[in-house]
Amino acid sequence: MALSEQQKTRPFAVVTGASSGIGYELAKQFVQNGYDVLIAAEDDGITEAARNLGGSGRVESVKVDLARYEGVEYLYAKIQALGRPVDAIALNAGVGVGGAFAQQTRLEDELNLIALNVTSSVHLAKRVSRDMVQRKSGRILFTSSIAAVMPAPFEAVYGASKAFLLSFSEALRNELADVGVTVTALMPGPTETNFFHRAGMDDTKVGQDEKDDPAQVARQGFEALMAGKDKVVAGSVKNRAMAAAAQMMPDPATAQMHRKMSEPGSGTKKQ
């Protein structure tokens, strides 16, 4: 595919999980900062998101289920078909599952969570990072969470998936430090998105409490990525305080702190 003169000069980014929430706002950050963008998600909203993001840059969308191996390969094929080097990629696609692991949650949902949050991130990072290493240039952003630094009762598999992403990003960052590729972990706290509703956590304290603005979280993540930082705890000052406290407190204490926020029925029922 022949590239236009504009495409030859504008950087190119890929954002997954970009139909709404943090992913959509990350894509907006790239567009506003001079990038052409390819966005991906499994729902129909990805097409409307691309229309809304359109501006001076080129925005394309792919509807794809990244929880499937074939879905990741399909997205990577779309990236290759554009014939453009990926200057930055935000591996943001993810889902939560709330509830007691042994009594309430479904195995199918948790295996899907692992496939999307963990497996697809490793899969796509493998494909794209090799290309970046060959060019000796690129930026990779993983959306982790402050849940990564503490046990997460009633979100046990979700919290573990985010801990994986944090550890993976830090290890990959070290491996790629000498080849011109940076890796950054974005660690938001509770954010005003559809996440808690989809995770079945509407009746929890965290589900009902005030949350951070996804635009603020995305801006902080984008700025950290562009600065080449290893990670950023995004959102409110409360998130940074919580993440710092989790590093000093014993795991049983942080687990209990998380439990109070995420246990089913812990929220004040809205009338």
Residue 184 DSSP code:
E
Residue 148 DSSP code:
G
Residue 125 DSSP code:
H
CA distance 94 to 17: 7
Tokens representing 182 are: 């940076």
Q: Name the CA radius of gyration of the chain, rounded.
A: 18
Separation of CA 165 from chain center: 9
- CB contact at 8 A, 266 and 260: yes
Angle between helix axes 45-53 and 21-32 (nearest 10 degrees) is 30
158 is catalytic: yes
CA distance 247 to 29: 30
Nearest one of 3, 52, 57, 15 to 33, comparing CA atoms: 57
Maximum Cα interatomic distance, the chain, rounded to a whole number of Å: 58
Residue 67 to residues 93, 126, 200, Cα–Cα distance (Å): 9, 15, 19
- CB contact at 8 A, 59 and 39: yes
Q: Write phi, then psi, for 203 (nearest 5 degrees).
A: -95, 10
How far separated are the first and last CA of the chain, in Å rounded?
Answer: 57
**Candidates 24, 35, 76, 158; catalytic one:** 158
Residue positions annotated with a catalytic role: 158
